[in-house]
A = this chain, B = another copy of it.
Amino acid sequence: MKITTISSGDRFSLKRSIDAGTEEQRKTVRSIIEDVRRHGNQAVKAYTEKFDGISLDDTRVTEEEIKQAYSLLDDRLLQVIRQAIRNIQEYHERQLQSSWFYHRKDGTMLGQKITALDSAGVYVPGGTAAYPSSVLMNVIPALTAGVERIVLVTPPGKDGQLSPGVLAAASELGIKEIYKMGGAQAIAALAYGTETIESVDKITGPGNIYVALAKREVFGDVDIDMIAGPSEIVVLADDTAVPKEIAADLLSQAEHDKLSSSVLVTDSAALAQAVQSEVNEQLDTLPRKAIAEASIREYGHIYVAESMDEAVEAVNALAPEHLEIITKSPEALIGGIKHAGAIFLGRYSPEPVGDYFAGPNHVLPTNGTARFSSPLNVTDFQKKSSIISYSQKAFEEQAESVAAFARLEGLEAHARSIEARGRRNSK
């Protein structure tokens, strides 16, 4: 890993040039979506044959398949899933918003009503990327918000099978509507519906470039979550940190993906050196060495700042998805952190604990987008309605100026709708 000495005002970025899709891919995705809108299940079936290499007459997962999934499942995994569900629910319940209202002296009542979405669709990638944790992290916020209908879609293997872990996780959460479909065709089916699948109001979950482009395409007709980029971690540490622990954390990020970025920001040149050699040492024995090594080479970096203040400044410029603060007193630094998806405090809070188990969501803003977006959360599945109730007194006091404002904006009918309620018109 490259070590760079930095100073205040330096510009940093975690931004990697992500595959935004070619004009060709955009066209393909648009035509798949059009096709599914026009021909429904028949189109979905054709694309599943083409892209997933299997012909399915019924894409709906059966009770039988769920039972089978449990029988195939490692029991320790099931236990961990159940504890994780309890932790994740406990945390997300605290994100619930309440409706509120208030009155003005003149009798006017104003408020904000909170309502859950009616339905949500969760996309779960197939193959090696089929993580039970993705199911928990996308479904639990929607469940907690009160969404009544939650649909899960995930691409089948060539044998028509799905990951037992994914099916069990869904079943543990009471999800009954699961379809074997993936790619842009699954996004289209969720957004616009087919003969057998009713459309949903919001689509979340990670996927490949075709899924990402399809989500962008249907955005507006339905809501979507943020388009996720590659994962990243920034560790902010001082000389009280244990180099081998920091190195292990950097590598746990690097093994995800060649595009993953692992960064250490520290005020200690000695720690920088020690972590650098630890990383090289630990890399050698990793099963996913090839991926981790490429990621560290391309996007791994160690920045040495002159002070903790400058280090914090650098972290805010990076706006990382995951931030570990491993210093003498991590709590003291939280106040200064403006941009980060998830903040892990102290040596006993390594990022994997948060990812899997602690309770907060692991669907986080990546690639610098923590500047303006949030972890997936319950409020993403709730919406607000404004409530306005004017008293006759308040209305009559303000009618004239509101009508005047309307006329100044050139909207006569607006003014007349006010004046239609003059005293003389009272019933």
Rounded to whole Å, the gap between the CB of A424 and the closest CB of chain B is 12
Bound Cα distance from A337 to B385, whole angstroms: 10
Within 8 A of B (CB), among A240-271: 240, 242, 244-245, 248-249, 251-252, 254-256
Rounded to whole Å, the gap between the CB of A104 and the closest CB of chain B is 8
Rounded to whole Å, the gap between the CB of A365 and the closest CB of chain B is 8
The reply to whether B342 and A401 form a contact with Cβ atoms under 8 Å apart is no
Chain B contacts for A343, CB-based, 8 A: 113, 385-388
Size bracket, chain A contacts:
35 or more
Within 8 A of B (CB), among A101-153: 102, 108-110, 112-113, 115, 117-118, 128, 131-133
Chain B contacts for A421, CB-based, 8 A: 245, 347-348, 350
The reply to whether A388 and B288 form a contact with Cβ atoms under 8 Å apart is no
Check if A402 is an interface residue, CB within 8 A of chain B: yes
The contact of A371 among B118, B282, B351, by CB within 8 Å, is B118
Chain B contacts for A292, CB-based, 8 A: 413
Rounded to whole Å, the gap between the CB of A344 and the closest CB of chain B is 5
Indicate whether A414 sits within 8 Å of B94 (C-beta atoms), given known contacts A343-B386, A388-B360, A401-B83.
no
Check if A369 is an interface residue, CB within 8 A of chain B: yes
The contact of A402 among B226, B255, B352, by CB within 8 Å, is B352
The reply to whether B248 and A417 form a contact with Cβ atoms under 8 Å apart is yes
27 CB-based A-B contacts, threshold 8 Å: A94-B102, A95-B112, A110-B359, A117-B371, A132-B409, A201-B371, A201-B372, A216-B219, A222-B372, A223-B369, A251-B417, A254-B413, A342-B385, A342-B387, A343-B388, A345-B388, A347-B421, A348-B392, A349-B390, A350-B417, A352-B402, A353-B388, A353-B390, A353-B402, A356-B405, A360-B387, A370-B383
Name A's B-contacting residues (CB within 8 A): 74, 76-77, 79-80, 83-84, 91, 94-95, 100, 102, 108-110, 112-113, 115, 117-118, 128, 131-133, 165, 201-202, 216, 219-220, 222-223, 226-227, 240, 242, 244-245, 248-249, 251-252, 254-256, 282, 286-288, 292, 330-331, 334, 337-361, 364-365, 369-375, 377, 379, 383-392, 394-395, 398, 401-402, 404-406, 408-418, 420-421, 425, 427
